[in-house]
């Protein structure tokens, strides 16, 4: 049966939905696709600076410390992932950007919208990756679907992607890597007979540097070498996770698609400063910002917070004794009302703050989270529906008009404690930073 016989004629048209299966004999051939954006942070910056298309570009971490993303041209110059900025700043022609997470998150949402338009089950895996459950069909049809996904994402967002297709998530990951690094294409369907020997063991999903070094010492250099090992030895060297990796390479699904996102059990927001801060007022201002960010995530997943943790850290690399306090405070009634969370967090900060110390990091942790549907009041208080309504309005305005359009007075004033000297405009989330033409 030909590839065209399995689908409607318009199955892969940009305006069409998911392909319609016509042959039920292929039900055991369901496949998973991994859609991986190519050098995502770099691609986001280049999208609004097309003149950088073939120039070496890097994106730096918080406070412009080290490289978190690099273009192939930067890699060719010898720039390594995680390399400190001061070591490469003099390389000829190198262009560096500070991390612009508002821009990256906005473009990530557009990429996911393009993928959801196919009408297939999707798992949001990270800001630049998503797994998609594909219908049972031939490898030829699978590649056509994968190529259609890559084409649509590029057309709708301008972000290039590589799509890997396999019987499991691990195979899909390997296929995506092969598409980018070996075959130089936008889509590839994993072929165990030929691809296992082409995938270095260090590039397998879940294999970190330490495990890779251990496997290399056993003369295991490729995925094919790993498959040749006895299961007991794999479990001994890599634990149960390694055994699952072995099964996934064989095409046995050990990590099924998670189409429903699980609510987080705790929400943490913390950042290190470019310098060091000692004034309590400045720390309170930043804590108010952190609590607002954490509370937005809390409400987005429909949860209430029962306990708040606040912590401070001095510079770990300075000589002498450090100071790393952490304090947990419980709310009498679980809440997602930002002013209530902020009031308690400020109490905690004032208790752990020690004058005379120079602090390098501040953070807040929302814990004992529970769904809003199981709200439990006490006889001294009753839920106020006006609070929830107010928070919904504030969140909606900030989503529509840009983050911090509505903020708390405690957040105002002061200068940014973070080094972002090379940050690009937030083209998609701020009216005053829209791209100007002409």
Per residue in 317-350, pLDDT (tens digit) is 888 889 999 999 999 989 999 999 999 999 999 9
Fold (CATH) for 39-103: MutS, DNA mismatch repair protein, domain I (3.40.1170)
Pair 26, 137: CB distance under 8 Å = yes
pLDDT value at 21 more than 90: no
pLDDT value at 100 more than 80: yes
- What share of the chain in percent tops pLDDT 90? 73
Exposed, middle or buried: residue 210 (CB in 10 Å: 0-12, 13-18, 19+)?
exposed
Token code pair at residue 366 = 């929302």
3-state SS class at 266 = coil
Q: Where are the domains of the chain?
A: 30-35+111-250, 39-103, 267-376+383-411
pLDDT-derived band at 353 (thresholds 50, 70, 90) equals: very high
Pseudo-torsion of CA 413, 418, 419, 424, nearest 10°? -80
- What share of the chain in percent tops pLDDT 70? 91
| Residue keyed to tokens 């829209």 | 434
Which tops the pLDDT comparison, 197 or 434? Answer: 197
pLDDT at 351: 97
Equal CATH topology for 30-35+111-250 and 267-376+383-411 = no
CATH top-level class for 267-376+383-411?
alpha beta
Closest among 215, 175, 205, 216 to 192, alpha carbons compared: 175
Classify domain 30-35+111-250 at the CATH superfamily level.
Reverse transcriptase/Diguanylate cyclase domain (3.30.70.270)
pLDDT-derived band at 26 (thresholds 50, 70, 90) equals: very low
Interval 235-248 mean pLDDT: 93
- Of 14-23, 151-160, 161-170, 215-224, give the lowest mean pLDDT range: 14-23
Cα angle value 219/225/230 (rounded, 5°): 95
């Amino acid at each position: 049966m030909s590839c065209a016989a399995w689908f409607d004629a318009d199955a892969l048209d940009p305006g069409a939905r998911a392909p319609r299966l016509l042959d039920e004999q292929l039900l055991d051939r369901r496949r998973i696709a991994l859609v991986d954006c190519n050098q995502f942070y770099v691609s986001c910056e280049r999208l609004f600076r097309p003149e950088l298309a073939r120039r070496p570009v890097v994106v730096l971490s918080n406070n412009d410390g080290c490289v978190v993303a690099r273009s192939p041209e930067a890699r060719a110059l010898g720039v390594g992932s995680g390399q400190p900025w001061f070591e490469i700043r003099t390389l000829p022609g190198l262009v560096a950007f500070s991390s612009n997470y508002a821009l990256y998150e906005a473009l990530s949402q557009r990429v996911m919208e393009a993928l959801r338009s196919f009408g297939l089950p999707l798992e949001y895996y990270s800001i630049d990756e998503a797994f998609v459950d594909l219908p049972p069909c031939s490898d030829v049809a699978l590649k056509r679907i994968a190529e259609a996904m890559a084409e649509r994402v590029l057309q709708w967002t301008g972000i290039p992607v590589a799509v890997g297709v396999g019987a499991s998530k691990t195979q899909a990951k390997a296929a995506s890597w092969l598409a980018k690094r070996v075959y130089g294409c936008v889509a590839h369907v994993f072929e165990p007979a030929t691809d296992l020997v082409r995938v270095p063991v260090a590039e397998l999903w879940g294999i970190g540097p330490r495990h890779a070094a251990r496997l290399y010492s056993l003369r295991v250099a490729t995925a094919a070498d790993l498959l040749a090992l006895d299961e007991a030895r794999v479990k001994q060297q890599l634990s149960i996770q390694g055994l699952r990796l072995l099964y996934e390479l064989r095409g046995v699904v050990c990590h099924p698609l998670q189409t429903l996102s699980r609510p987080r059990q705790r929400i943490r927001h913390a950042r290190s400063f470019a310098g060091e801060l000692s004034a309590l007022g400045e720390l309170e201002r930043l804590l108010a910002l952190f609590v607002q960010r954490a509370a937005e995530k809390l409400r987005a997943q429909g949860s209430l917070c029962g306990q708040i943790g606040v912590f401070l850290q001095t510079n770990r690399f300075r000589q002498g004794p450090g100071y790393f306090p952490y304090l947990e405070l419980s709310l009498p009634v679980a809440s997602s009302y930002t002013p209530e969370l902020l009031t308690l967090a400020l109490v905690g900060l004032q208790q752990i703050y020690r004058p005379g110390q120079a602090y390098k990091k501040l953070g807040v942790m929302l814990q004992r989270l529970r769904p809003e549907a199981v709200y439990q009041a006490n006889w001294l208080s009753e839920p106020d529906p006006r609070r929830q309504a107010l928070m919904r309005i504030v969140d909606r305005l900030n989503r529509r008009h840009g983050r911090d359009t509505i903020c708390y007075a405690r957040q105002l004033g002061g200068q940014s404690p973070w080094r972002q000297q090379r940050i690009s405009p937030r083209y998609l989330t701020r009216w005053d930073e829209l791209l100007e033409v002409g």
